[in-house]
Amino acid sequence: MRTTSVLVVPAVWKTLPVLSASARLLRLLSLLAARPSWTCAELADRMGVTDRTVRRDIARLRELGYTVDSEAGPWGGYRLRPGARVPPLILDDEEALAVAVGLRGAALDGALGGDQAALSALLKLRQVLPPRIAERLGEWDDALVRLPWPEEPQLRPGTLLELAAACRRGERARLSYRDGQGRHTVRDVDPYRLVHTGRRWYFVARDTARGWRTFRADRVERLQPTGHPVEITDPPDPAQLVSRNTANGPYPLSATVRLPLPMAEALRVVPATVGTHRPDGPDATIVDIGGPDPDGLARYLLGLATPLRVLAPDSVRQALVRRTRALLAAHTDDDGPPP
């Protein structure tokens, strides 16, 4: 006889102006499964009910057989114990493991076009998996080997879940990190978001000593929670922060060019991982692109095969002119320019 584990799926309660008792219980279960702990006030605020109603609904869940633990203290609250039953979709062990593996693959490969959604769903599922299935998923993590793209380092599968959980947890963490030169550092950070560029994952966090930073996920060696809660106010746009740091951060030189293309088309010509974009009216885009030297940048700009104007610096503009003249001369015979 096969045992079962379960997962919340329906979201009809999102469209109801006033929740019925049963719909409210489903909403409460979904919230409890979404993160490790909630205070009574947080649950009441999310559900639009009183603290008394939350406590009454928690009691009903316990009567139905769900193990909801209470934590005392100012940062205490309610926690759905891992392995608890969560309706209404019934999955047996093999099905639950298959769903978890599928979500892991989608999060790593971006096959569904929504890596964050896949990772979020996987986090919710692992929160309620019985230990026997969680152990099997851990064994799968240990056995998994992904063939990287050329020059792309391996990313340990469990790292993404650890970083995503840290972003959800809302508390300071101690980060052990190895930079591009192989130097090891330990710093205190406030986790915020994970950003996927299509090739790599980046961990966006506030370094308590240096401000907002991006860290390559494959270089994270360990992330240890400190138990110190933090509140992040006025955070940066994580995608723009990663784009700016990856496009211009590693390079000693940066060129500013104008493309006579709307922003959407300019992003297809120069990806966000290569340049930092800003609109210049509805039909043009200014892009900052990093490079090793003027000649290297000129070679890249010629390879775009699209009209553009180098606004700065002069060294890149002159290198582009030299390369263009050399290319024209190579395709001109003694009788004049080619037809």
pLDDT at 113: 42
Least confident of 149-158, 239-248, 328-337: 149-158
Residues whose CB falls within 8 Å of the CB of residue 13, separated by 6 or more in sequence, listed in order: 19, 23, 24, 26, 27
Alpha helix (H) ranges present in 209-313? 238-248, 263-269, 294-303
Least confident of 40-54, 146-160, 192-206, 268-282: 146-160
- 102-105 contacts, C-beta under 8 A, 24 or more apart: 104/157
Query: Going by DSSP bridges, is the β-strand pair 220-229/171-178 parallel, antiparallel, or unpaired?
Result: antiparallel
* Rg of the chain on CA atoms, in Å: 26
Comparing 54 with 12, the larger pLDDT belongs to 54
3-state secondary structure of 235: coil
Residues whose CB falls within 8 Å of the CB of residue 243, separated by 6 or more in sequence, listed in order: 272, 273, 276, 277
pTM over 0.75: no
Comparing 113 with 185, the larger pLDDT belongs to 185
> Distance between CA atoms of 144 and 139, rounded to whole angstroms?
9
Asked whether the predicted pLDDT for residue 7 surpasses 50, the reply is no
Asked whether the predicted pLDDT for residue 296 surpasses 60, the reply is yes
Least confident of 4-18, 115-129, 307-321: 4-18
Look-up: residue for tokens 């999060």? 107
Please tell me what DSSP assigns to residue 336. Answer: B
Asked whether the predicted pLDDT for residue 30 surpasses 70, the reply is yes
Least confident of 11-20, 215-224, 302-311: 11-20
Residue 218 binned pLDDT confidence (cut-offs 50, 70, 90): confident
Tokens at 231, concatenated: 């509140």
pLDDT at 265: 92
Neighbours of 26 (CB within 10 A): 20
Region class of 73: left (phi > 0), else alpha (psi between -120 and 50), else beta: left
For residues 18 and 109, the answer to whether their CB atoms sit within 8 Å is no
